[in-house]
Amino acid sequence: MPFDFDGDRLLWMNYQSRDIRDVNLYNFPEKTLSTVVNFQKRDGIISHMKLLGDCLYYVKNTRDLVRYDMKTHNSTLLGSTRDAIIALYVTRNVMREFDKEEDEKLGGGLGWNDDEIDEEAKASEDKRFTIACLDEAENLYVFKSNPASKKISNITIGIKTLADIPEEIRQKDLFGMGYPYFICLYTDMIAFSTDYGIIYLKYDHKKLA
């Protein structure tokens, strides 16, 4: 079962039996194959696994967000959602240099500052992440790490509570057809797929400071 590809590394899960699963990583530049973690029956349902640095981020038992450090082999529960997760995205959420230049020309109108991170945070940069996910109950979640304080902040948005959602869409079941759904986040912008098209929005990232 393929999970993720970051341009250099391919991540997938192989079933040894119904309950025993190996997660494998192939590094194309180094031409190396390794088994990075093994899941047993007691580990429950594993899905939506993503690569970011030396860590794997995945969903356990449909609702729990977990980070697995491939160096230390430690797992950390990051948070949980109200209903089963159907789409997941993980990023460092650092603004591209081109966009920084454009933002400066506009007088910093985006209000995004990647430099608001102290030396301690820089030293643990691999633990910096922002997660965006959707659940079956039509909620949108954003989880953000703060390496300096070692805390994780989060916000939950009911999709149908958004003011600009058309009334005809508000009455629909957005995730009822069982498609693979996708979500993407960049700075304070989020886009995700539904049964009736793409929804794009901006969230108040300062609530996650």
Q: How many distinct structural domains can be found in the chain?
A: 2
- The verdict on 136 and 201 lying in the same domain is yes
DSSP assigned state of 74:
-
- 3-class state of residue 169 by DSSP: helix
Residue count of the chain: 209
Whether residues 47 and 108 share a domain: the answer is no
Domain boundary among 32, 58, 80: 80
Residues 124 and 188 in one domain: yes
Cα distances from 185 to residues 112, 168, 175, 191, 194, in angstroms, run 14, 25, 19, 7, 16
Looking at residue 151, its amino acid is: K
Q: Which of 80, 99, 125 is the last residue of a domain?
A: 80
Model pLDDT, residue 119: 46
13 and 88 housed in the same domain: no
Residue where a domain terminates, one of 80, 113, 140? 80
Q: How confident is the prediction along the chain (209 residues), in pLDDT tens digits per residue?
A: 899 999 999 999 999 998 899 999 999 999 999 999 999 999 999 999 999 999 999 999 999 999 999 999 999 999 999 999 999 999 998 888 887 777 777 666 555 555 544 444 454 556 789 999 999 999 999 999 987 778 899 999 999 999 888 898 899 999 999 889 999 999 999 999 999 999 999 998 887 76
138: nearest Cα among 106, 175, 112, 164 = 175
Q: Residue 19 is part of which domain span?
A: 1-80
**pTM (2 d.p.):** 0.88
